[in-house]
Amino acid sequence: MKIKYDPKVDAAYISFKEGPVEVTTMRITEDVSVDFGPGEDIVGIEVLDASKHLELSPEHPMIKLENLVST
């Protein structure tokens, strides 16, 4: 899993799969979309206006990992 944040556009993307995958995107809300790959596997989640929805500071975005190891 990889989490990317772009402070210039205030968007976050959580990737669950590596490499290029053809996806179908389902918009959940105006700011949240889920990308589905083959077999309806979740490939990723995009969050626009991320600082509001994920309570991120654009200057110093931080996340807390629980029961996970960062690489």
User: Which pLDDT band holds residue 9 (cuts at 50, 70, 90)?
Assistant: very high
Tell me the β-bridge partners of 26: 34
54 three-class SS: coil
Mean pLDDT for 9-17 is 93
pLDDT confidence of residue 71: 67
Residues 26/13/41/21 CA torsion (nearest 10 deg):
100
pLDDT tens figures, 36-71 = 999 999 999 999 999 899 887 777 777 777 787 766
2 three-class SS: strand
pLDDT confidence of residue 57: 78
